[in-house]
Each structure stands twice: as C-alpha cells, then as structure tokens.
Amino acid sequence: MLGGEASWDEVDRALDTHAEFLARFVTEQPVQTNEVARAWALLPGLLCVGPEPIELLELGSSAGLLLGVDRYRYRYDTGSWGNGRPLLHGHGGPPPSLLERGLDVVRRRGVDSHPVDVTTDEGARLLEAFVWPDQTERLERLREAIAVGRADPPELVAGDYVELAPELVNERTVVFSAVTTVYLDDARYAELVERLRGVRWLSLEGPRRDRGYDGMRLELGGRVLAEHVDFHGTSMEWVP
C-alpha cells in the first residue's frame, strides 16, 4: 500500500499477490519503530542536565529520530520550547523555568542491532510500515521527523549497545534510552547498568520490577523526574 501497489480496498488481493514476499519479510525483518512523540518526554530530562554542550548517545536508536530532540517544537501545559517541526504536545509538563533553558547538542550517535537509514526511500518506508494505517497524525509526525533527520543525519552504529555503548562515552556524553532496555533479560540489564556506572543516563522506561505499571517513568541518573509518562508521549506527571 505504501508503495502504491494496492489500496486498502484490495487488501485480500494484495496479500495473495505478495504472499511470498510478505512471508519472507515478517520472518527476516525485526519490528522497527521510532515513536517521535517520546521526545516530548525526553526533552525536559535533557534540559535538567545543564547548559553545557552535550553529546547524545541513544541505546536502541532505530533510525535515530529521537536524536533530533532539540530540533522539534514542543508544547506543554506549563509552556513551550523550540520552533522546529514536528510540533509535539501533550498534557502535563515540567516547571516553566526549565523550559527557559537551552540545549546545545554537539554530536548525535545511536546504537542499534538493525539501524534504519531514513535517508533512503526504503528506510523511510520501513518505519512508515510499522505505523497503523488509521493513525494519520502519527504518520505525519513521523514524516516530518524523517525530513529533519535527512537534512542532518545522526551517526548510527550497528551492534549490541550493551557491548558498544561504554566505548562511545566521554565526559560530555548523555546516554538515553526510550523503551528499549525492557527487551534485555535481567542479567544483561545488570551488565549494562554496571558498564554505564558514572555515566549520565536519561531513562524513559517502565519500572523493571513493576510489570503492571501503566506507562513509562523518566529518570536521570536514578532520580525520578516524571511519573506515568504515556507510552506514546502524550502525558506526564512531573515530580515536584
């Protein structure tokens, strides 16, 4: 459908016609999503780091669209930040004084087992394929972020971030993760924590020991900044 080879009125025919390709695709291609709206929750955490220049390193970056966090525009109940596109908005937000701070990103790198290159039509279409077809606003947001990423792509490194991330950090690095460490087993997660000890780590993940937790939690260096962040970055409860 994204390639213009069929319409939604012809789904059954398309499934039959492309059955061999689709079977191979779902077998070989891991799910790759880049929920750009999560930048809405990540930005306040990065603003907490301070005004000095920082290097971003994302764990499980997919196409690295969250690495463009400072290039988007944001609206919170407590104020606004930035003037780019797409516009990301939700309910709740950090203190207004935090939104008065700037963010100086001097390098952007991401590590992923199967990074996606959105400078190619194939890479962009792959990310679009993992958006449900009725979520038109989400698809438009993704396409705007892809355009930003194509203008100045981040550095994407293929590999295991537990192994590679510690080798890529320096005194200016801020590591961040957004719903990726949940896929690590306990032993591997413990290894990651140990290898990143002393590194500034902004985490947007669900509490590891609370499977019933409804959403994500934003933490910086183990300190909780926001509770109950919606999985798609549309609401947050900032911790006073």
Give the pLDDT confidence of 96-136 residue by residue, as tens digits. 999 999 999 999 999 999 999 999 999 999 999 889 888 99
Q: CA separation (Å) from 121 to 35, 54, 104, 117?
A: 19, 31, 30, 9
Residues of the chain short of pLDDT 70, as ranges, are 1-9, 11, 21-23, 25-29
Contacts of 174 (CB under 8 A, 6+ apart): 46, 49, 54, 55, 56, 57, 200, 201, 202
Amino acid identity of 160? D
Sign of CA dihedral 215, 220, 223, 226: negative
Q: Which fold has domain 35-238?
A: Rossmann fold (3.40.50)
DSSP-assigned beta bridge partners for residue 204: 178, 218
Q: What percent of the chain has pLDDT over 90?
A: 78
Structure tokens at 164: 């590679």
User: What pLDDT shows up at residue 1?
Assistant: 46
CB 107 within 8 A of CB 57: no
Ordered alpha helix ranges (H), the chain: 11-17, 19-28, 39-47, 121-129, 136-151, 161-164, 186-195
Quote the CA–CA distance of 228 and 235 in Å, as a whole number: 8
List C-alpha distances in Å: 71 to 27, 41, 176, 240: 35, 14, 17, 27
97 and 79 in contact (C-beta within 8 Å)?
A: no
Q: For residues 154 and 165, what is the distance between their CA atoms, to the nearest angstrom?
A: 15
Could you tell me if 56 and 169 are in contact, meaning their C-beta atoms sit under 8 angstroms apart?
Answer: no
Residues 98 and 81: beta-carbon distance below 8 Å: no
Every domain of the chain and the residues it spans: 1-30, 35-238
Angle value at C-alpha 69, between 219 and 203, nearest 5 degrees: 15
From residue 223, alpha-carbon distances to 169, 239, 240 in Å are: 20, 10, 12
pLDDT of residue 208: 86
